Amino acid sequence: MARKAACNAEEVTWLVWCFEHCLKPEQAVVRKELAALATKFGCKLVCYKKCMSFLRWLEGMKGSILLVADWREAKPIMEEISKQNRGHDLRMCVVAQTATILRRASSWARAQNGCAEIMVSSGFLRHKVEELIASHVQALRMTGLAAVSHGAKSTGAYGWLSLPNLLEAVHDPKQAHRLEKLIKQTMWQVYED
């Protein structure tokens, strides 16, 4: 059963996989890859089999949503989100399983009115999902939202995570609180609907 995050939801980045077979044993490799990417970039991973489950979860959510969705789920998700007009921070990677679906999904993505950044991938390609997440992390860095402390060094995505910097952060109450939020943010759990 899905649980909603109780911590500062606006700071959370959710990596969501919406695919009918996402929880099947034959998809374990993809789930592990997504979990590894979520951990690498400090996201929380959730999985939903159907678009309606994802949309119910999305209702009360804040924060950034990086959605990896099968074509069958992507189109109804975007139709519903465009009706809601809630201004979700959403980026999507549509997974097309065949050449025909790739053409349809690409054409559809180009025609969207801009309520989300959409990329289309021919099958599940780790580097495409990593590109989606990395572009989001870069956008956060550009706006300054990803800085954990004012003294964060610009030595890469998590370059400030050296032992001396962590020890210093633990002893400073404000930085310790921010560090705790970051740790909670990087924890992930697979959700079933």
Is pLDDT larger for residue 29 or for residue 145? Answer: 29
- β 117-122/64-70 pair status: unpaired
Domain 9-147 -> CATH class:
alpha beta
Question: Looking at the predicted structure, is the pLDDT value of residue 128 above 70?
Answer: yes
Model pTM? 0.66
Average pLDDT for 15-23: 92
What mean pLDDT value characterizes the chain? 76
How many CB atoms sit inside 10 A of residue 169's CB? Answer: 22
Average pLDDT for 160-185: 64
For residue 67, list its beta bridge partners. Answer: 16, 92
Is pLDDT larger for residue 129 or for residue 47? Answer: 47
Q: What is the pLDDT of residue 60?
A: 78
Token pair 């678009």 is found at: 51
